[in-house]
Every structure is written in structure tokens, then in C-alpha cells.
């Protein structure tokens, strides 16, 4: 329960102000709109030595898609007009809102997000917090946990960094495998800020079961309400069925947030090879959790964070879920109620301030 929920309890904080949750509509639980992920760039495979510095084109788009983090141009997107056109397509397809989680380390830009929201007419909720240590490279160890928490609280109450654009959720909160000490400090501060403000927490867990279990234990030890936390990347970070079962049984929001992505990265940089599921595989897993009674915890998104995914550059853009995934759900026998619960009700519940 929040002890200082201002007058926002029961509302949703967007980049343009506070709104009634019932106006939200179809919502993606995890996206990036203005981003710079240069910090997670790594050198391309020796077979494609020139890929790192190439500009994205229709001739090399396939290579970019298969090697998304091995090209600098692919990782950076900061153009407001193009972003607004991309997001507007989502609105035109019937989309309501995008949760933008470019936390510190992904170079989010809340002022640009507000412009994108105003130009596109689509609701955008901005996250705040620290992404993985590798990405933000900031030494948090010299600052007290309370000081870090105060920065997060200020981001939600007066504005992110030196802007007047308020965050509507904490995230994505980055943790690596193994989890770094600074990342636990970030999580600790986030929990304090969450308890103070009543805003939800979106977690980017480290790859593999062990870091995930450490995070769940950490949250539980601090009595964080699992219904205020979304555990992300369940479709791409190599979790066992056993681990995902625990996320489900503990009552967290579960985010299958990489719909549309089919990356395979057999990389030297990651804790284990990153192998994405196909959309069909994702939906079969969702079906299983619906059948087990967990539909009220399921959320989805595209985690769009590379240029090659944008329509401007030959990708599916933000309307992939509406254009392709929801029709696939119908083919697989998801009821209209289930689809509405997953795409509208659950993200609304997560974003509504306590
Ligand atoms: Zn992430």
C-alpha cells in the first residue's frame, strides 16, 4: 500500500498527464520508442566484419534482424517525427497505449516521448529506473539507497531527470546474470520508491533460472505485492518451464514481451545463447497458462528496440500484435474475453496507481 499516493490513486500517469484507466485500450506492456542502446553493441560475427558500421537498408535488413546488436545504426532511434508516424500506425490499427521502458542506460527521452504522444494521439506511459549495469555504466555504489529511491520518486512526482515529464511506472529495471551488486541496489531503491508511490515495477531479469529465482526471493523478502510487478522477457531469456511456473504460482504479472522477434544470438557476450520463441510457440505457452487459471497475469508486448523492426525500415512496427498476433490467438481458440484480459485489462491493472 502506498503511503504517499498523492491524488493519483486509481489513475494512470502518462507522459501528457494523469488519465482514467478505462480510456487506455489495447496496451503493450513493454516497448521502446526513443532509444539508444549503443551500450549493448558488440562486434559482429567475423563472417560479416563490415556489419557494425553499415547503415540499415533493404539490402542488409535481414542481416540486421539476425544480428540485431551488432550494428550501431540499428540500436539508435531518436527521430520524433518518424517515431510519431510509427506510433500513429499502432493507433490507426486500434492500439491504445504503449508502455515505454527506456530506463537509464537506454537513453530514453521523456520530452520527445511527450511530443510523440501528442503528434500520434497514442497514450504513452514512461518508465524510469536503471537498466543493466553494463548499459548504464553508472556507479551507484557511492550513493545511499534512500538517495537513489528519492531520485525515482521525484521522477514520478515532478519529472524524469531534469524534465517535467512524470514516469508512470518503474522499469525496465535491469538485472544481469550473474546479478551485479549495483543492480541489487537499484532494485532495492525501486522497491522503496514503489512502496512510496504505488506505481508498478517492470523487471528485466538476468538470463536463466538462477538470477530469476534470486530476484523473486529478493522481492518476497521485502514483501512486495506480486500483483504490482511484471516479470519480463519470459519468451526469450532461456527460462525453464519450472521457473516460469514459479512466476505464475507466486502471482506476478508475466510478460511475454518479445512478440515478433525471432533472434538467435549464439553470442560470446551473453550468459547463455539467446534463442527467441516464435509467435506460435509463445501463444501455445500462453494457452497453457490460461488453461491453468493464470489469464489475469498474462501481458504481452513487442519490446521493439531496434530500427529494423520499424515500418520505415521494412519491419512490422508497433501494430504487429494487433495485425498478426491477435488473429493467431483467435485461430488457436483464445476467447474474446481472454484476448481482452491480456491486451487491455491486465496492463490497465498493472499501470493503475495504488
Ligand atoms: Zn529488457
Residue 52 scores a pLDDT above 50: yes
Is residue 278, in this structure, part of any structural domain at all?
Answer: yes
Give domain status of residue 9, yes or no: no
Distance 172 CA to ligand 1 centre (A): 6
**Alpha-carbon span 86 to 90, nearest angstrom:** 7
Least Cα distance to 343 among 255, 223, 242 occurs for: 255
User: Is 308 annotated as belonging to a binding site?
Assistant: no
The mean per-residue pLDDT over the stretch 301-312 comes to 97
Three-state secondary structure call for residue 126: strand
Domain extent for 267? 26-351
pLDDT of residue 267: 57
Distance 32 CA to ligand 1 centre (A): 10
Give the pLDDT confidence score for residue 266 in this predicted structure: 62
Predicted structure pTM score: 0.96
Residue 97's H or E segment, with its range, is strand 95-100
154 inside domain: yes
CB 140 within 8 A of CB 128: no
Structural domain total, the chain: 1
pLDDT at residue 4 in the model:
52
Is 6 inside a domain boundary? no
Run of H or E including 36: strand 35-36
Q: Read off the pLDDT of residues 178-221 as tens digits, 9 standing for 90 and up.
A: 999 999 999 999 999 999 999 999 999 998 999 999 999 999 99
- Residue 18, in any domain of the structure: no
The CATH number that applies at residue 341 is 3.20.20.140
Asked whether residue 282 is assigned to any structural domain, the reply reads yes
Phi-psi region of 21 (alpha: psi -120 to 50; beta: other; left: phi over 0): alpha
| 4 occurs within a structural domain | no
Helix ranges (H only) for the chain are 61-66, 80-92, 110-120, 133-136, 145-157, 181-197, 209-221, 241-250, 279-291, 320, 326-331, 336-340, 346-351
pLDDT tens per residue, range 7-45: 899 999 999 999 999 999 999 999 999 999 998 898 888
What is the Cα–Cα distance from 187 to 284, expressed in whole angstroms?
32
Q: How many CB atoms lie within 10 A of CB 308?
A: 21
Whether 204 has a binding-site annotation, put simply, is: yes
pLDDT at res. 1: 43
Across 272-299, average pLDDT? 92
**For helices 80-92 and 110-120, what crossing angle results, to 10°?**
50
Residue 196 three-state SS? helix
| Residue 237 CA, ligand 1 centroid: distance in Å | 10
User: Ligand 1: distance of its center to the CA of 231 in Å?
Assistant: 10
183 annotated ligand binder? no
**Cross-strand bridge partners of residue 98:** 28, 124
Is 235 annotated as ligand-binding? no
The overall average pLDDT reported for the chain is 94
Q: What is the DSSP letter of 202?
A: E
Under the banding of pLDDT at 50, 70 and 90, the label for residue 274 is confident
* Ligand 1 geometric centre to CA of 169 (Å): 15
Q: Per the domain annotation, does 61 fall within a domain?
A: yes
Q: Whose CA is closest to 56, among 44, 72, 40, 45? A: 72
* Cα–Cα nearest to 52, from 23, 66, 73, 36: 73
Contact of 198 with 354, CB cutoff 8 Å: yes
**pLDDT tens-digit map of 108-123:** 899 999 999 999 999 9
The answer to whether the annotation marks 4 as part of a ligand binding site is: no
Is residue 308 over pLDDT 90? yes
End-to-end alpha carbon distance in the chain: 7
| 279 is an annotated ligand-binding site residue | no
272, pLDDT greater than 70: no
Name every residue whose Cβ is closer than 8 Å to that of residue 118 and which is 6 or more positions away in sequence: 16
Q: Counting Cβ atoms within 10 Å, is residue 133 exposed (0-12), middle (13-18) or buried (19+)? A: buried
Residue that is written with C-alpha cell 529506473 in the block: 129
Render pLDDT for 129-181 as a digit per residue (tens, 0 to 9): 999 998 988 889 999 999 999 999 999 999 999 999 999 999 999 999 999 99
Asked if 26 and 96 touch (Cβ cutoff 8 Å), the reply is yes
What is the Å distance from ligand 1's center to 203 Cα? Answer: 8
More confident residue, 171 or 276: 171
pLDDT at 296 over 60: yes
Cβ 303 vs Cβ 257: under 8 Å? yes
Amino acid at each position: 500500500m502506498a503511503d504517499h499516493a498523492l491524488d493519483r490513486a486509481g489513475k494512470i500517469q502518462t507522459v501528457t498527464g494523469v488519465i482514467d484507466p478505462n480510456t487506455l485500450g489495447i496496451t503493450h506492456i513493454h516497448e521502446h520508442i526513443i532509444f539508444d542502446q549503443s551500450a549493448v553493441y558488440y562486434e559482429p560475427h567475423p563472417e560479416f566484419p563490415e556489419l557494425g558500421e553499415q547503415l540499415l537498408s533493404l539490402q542488409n535488413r535481414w542481416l540486421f534482424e539476425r544480428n540485431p546488436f551488432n550494428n550501431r545504426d540499428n540500436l539508435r532511434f531518436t527521430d520524433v517525427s518518424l517515431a510519431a508516424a510509427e506510433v500513429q500506425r499502432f493507433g490507426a490499427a486500434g492500439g491504445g497505449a504503449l508502455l515505454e521502458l527506456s530506463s537509464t542506460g537506454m537513453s530514453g527521452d521523456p520530452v520527445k516521448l511527450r511530443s510523440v504522444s501528442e503528434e500520434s494521439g497514442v497514450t504513452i506511459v514512461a518508465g524510469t529506473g536503471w537498466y543493466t549495469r553494463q548499459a548504464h555504466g553508472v556507479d551507484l555504489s557511492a550513493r545511499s539507497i534512500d538517495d537513489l529511491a528519492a531520485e525515482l520518486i521525484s521522477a514520478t512526482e515532478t519529472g524524469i531527470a531534469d524534465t517535467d515529464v512524470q514516469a508512470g511506472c518503474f522499469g525496465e529495471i535491469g538485472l544481469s546474470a550473474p546479478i551485479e551488486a549495483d543492480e541489487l541496489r537499484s532494485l532495492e531503491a525501486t522497491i522503496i520508491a514503489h512502496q512510496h508511490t504505488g506505481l508498478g515495477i517492470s523487471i528485466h531479469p538476468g538470463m536463466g533460472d538462477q538470477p530469476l529465482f534470486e530476484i523473486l526471493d529478493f522481492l518476497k523478502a521485502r514483501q512486495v505485492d506480486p500483483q504490482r510487478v511484471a516479470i519480463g522477457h519470459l519468451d526469450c531469456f532461456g527460462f525453464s518451464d519450472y521457473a516460469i511456473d514459479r512466476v505464475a504460482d507466486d502471482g506476478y504479472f508475466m510478460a511475454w514481451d518479445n512478440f515478433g522477434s525471432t533472434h538467435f544470438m549464439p553470442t560470446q557476450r551473453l550468459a547463455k545463447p539467446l534463442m527467441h520463441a516464435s509467435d506460435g510457440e509463445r501463444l501455445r505457452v500462453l494457452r497453457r497458462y490460461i488453461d491453468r487459471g493464470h489469464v489475469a497475469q498474462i501481458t504481452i508486448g513487442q519490446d521493439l528496440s531496434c530500427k529494423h523492426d520499424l515500418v520505415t525500415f521494412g519491419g512490422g512496427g508497433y501494430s504487429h500484435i494487433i495485425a498478426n498476433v491477435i488473429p493467431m490467438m483467435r485461430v488457436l481458440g483464445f476467447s474474446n474475453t481472454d484476448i481482452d484480459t491480456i491486451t487491455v485489462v491486465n496492463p490497465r491493472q498493472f499501470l493503475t496507481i495504488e
